[in-house]
């Protein structure tokens, strides 16, 4: 008996469609002939759709997406400075709206320095950690405003909202993940300045730590964490942090491990109440779009995270291994499709 997985596919803008094409090819290749059948529904959302229809993400879009088991997303966002997009915030209105509406409270971002990947560090050591970034709270809630806008008396506020409920669930996830990995967890925040939010995070971590005596717990201020990411990234196993610090640390982590062309992510709702969403960490890079210059590896590794999330662990491991083998032997520049094809060839070998 076969299992059907309904997959919403959102290629998005810029290089999104190109990298998603390869990711879907890999998904098809690794699941071909297997028990699980992926029924894919394409959704054309993003800047291009907005420019055509004025819609970013309608209630109907959301309902349709909710009816799926998982989501694969490329990248969204138009040409920076495009005057027609001046009043559109595709990032907030589409990407963040999906994360918030689908309660993706775990933004999972693994960082691994693969053999052969060219990183910027002289002596990186072994790098293999996961950032568990909170996805539905913090400074990302959109709880801000301004008065006297455009005058010399303007005041613009942004409020970071953090709840025990929201922090605890993501912290629990991080501890459980640490137990399946190397039993080390680092909380990153800025408790000495953001005393209320930081105090909550610290207390929750200390409490949940009681239930996980095997996990060694560490705390770093976010500024110090950036130092260790470049001087001693091996010190990290699982990092748990808030939405904004997680955003910053994972781009830096991506750079340290060979570029965000390799960085995959999952926006996960662990309860299963809503479909989880898998996407490369990189953006839509409109400057190189349509030229087959983009590296589809991050999108393909996002497929591995998707497969793992769906319990297809063998398939996930096979994709991961094919990618690692490909990275280890990278030579001359290849097109987006060539990289996808090479990884598929390794899958089949």
Ligand X SMILES: CC(C)[C@H](C(=O)O)[C@@H](O)C(=O)O
Q: Which residues are catalytic?
A: 140, 190, 223, 247, 251
What H or E segment, with its residue span, contains residue 171? Answer: helix 164-180
DSSP string, 17-58: HHHHHHHHHHHHHHHTTSSEEEEEEE---SHHHHHHHS-SS-
**Please, which residue, 95 or 256, has the CB nearer to ligand X?**
95
Distance CA 313, CA 279 (A): 18
Query: Tell me, what DSSP letter sits at residue 76?
Result: -
Q: What angle do CA 17, 340, 332 make, to 5 degrees?
A: 115
Is 286 within any annotated ligand binding site? yes
Verify binding: residue 56, a second copy, rule CB under 8 A. no
Is 48 within any annotated ligand binding site? no
Distance CA 346, CA 307 (A): 18
What's the chain's length in residues?
Answer: 349
The contact pattern for a second copy, residues 202-221, with x = CB under 8 A and - = no contact, is -x------------------
Is 314 within any annotated ligand binding site? no
Q: Given the structure tokens 């110090």, which residue do they identify?
A: 224
Min dist. Cβ of residue 96 to ligand X (A): 6
Q: Which stretch binds a second copy (CB under 8 A): 97-105, 145-153, 266-274, 337-345?
A: 145-153
- For 314, phi then psi, to 5°, come to -60, -50
Min dist. Cβ of residue 334 to ligand X (A): 26
Distance CA 287, CA 108 (A): 27
Contacts of a second copy in 164-203 (CB under 8 A)? 164-165, 168, 190, 192-197, 199-200, 203
Min dist. Cβ of residue 90 to ligand X (A): 8
Q: Which residues are annotated as a binding site for Mg(2+)?
A: 223, 247, 251
Binding site for a second copy (CB under 8 A): 89, 91-92, 96, 119-123, 139-140, 142, 144-146, 148-165, 168, 190, 192-197, 199-200, 203, 222-224, 226-227, 229-231, 244, 247-248, 250-252, 254-256, 259-260
Q: Which residues are annotated as a binding site for substrate?
A: 99, 109, 133, 223
């Amino acid at each position: 008996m076969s299992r059907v997985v309904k997959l919403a596919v959102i290629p998005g803008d810029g290089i999104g469609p190109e990298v998603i094409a390869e990711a879907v090819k890999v998904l098809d290749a690794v699941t071909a002939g297997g028990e699980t059948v992926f029924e894919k529904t394409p959704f054309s959302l993003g800047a291009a759709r907005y420019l055509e229809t004025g819609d970013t993400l309608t209630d109907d879009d959301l309902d349709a997406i909710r009816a799926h088991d998982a989501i694969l997303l490329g990248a969204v966002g138009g040409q920076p400075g495009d005057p027609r997009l001046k009043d559109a915030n595709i990032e907030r209105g589409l990407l963040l709206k999906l994360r918030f509406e689908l309660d993706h409270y775990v933004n999972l971002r693994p960082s691994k320095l693969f053999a052969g990947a060219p990183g910027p560090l002289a002596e990186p050591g072994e790098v293999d950690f996961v950032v568990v970034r909170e996805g539905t709270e913090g400074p990302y809630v959109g709880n801000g405003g301004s008065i006297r806008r455009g005058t010399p008396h303007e005041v613009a506020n942004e409020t970071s909202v953090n709840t025990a409920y929201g922090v605890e669930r993501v912290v629990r996830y991080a501890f459980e993940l640490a137990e399946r990995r190397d039993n080390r967890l680092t909380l990153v925040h800025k408790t000495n300045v953001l005393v209320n939010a930081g105090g909550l995070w610290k207390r929750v971590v200390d409490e949940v730590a009681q239930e996980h005596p095997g996990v060694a717990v560490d705390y770093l201020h976010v500024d110090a964490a950036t130092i260790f990411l470049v001087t001693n990234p091996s010190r990290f196993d699982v990092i748990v942090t808030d939405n904004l610090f997680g955003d910053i640390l994972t781009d830096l982590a991506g750079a340290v491990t060979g570029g965000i062309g390799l960085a995959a992510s999952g926006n996960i709702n662990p309860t299963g109440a809503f479909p989880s969403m898998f996407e490369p960490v990189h953006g839509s890079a409109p400057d190189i779009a349509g030229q087959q210059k983009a590296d589809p590896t991050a999108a393909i590794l996002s497929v591995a995270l998707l497969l793992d999330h769906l319990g297809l662990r063998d398939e996930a491991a096979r994709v991961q291994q094919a990618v690692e083998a490909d990275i280890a032997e990278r030579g001359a520049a290849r097109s987006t499709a060539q990289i996808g094809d090479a990884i598929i060839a390794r899958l089949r070998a």
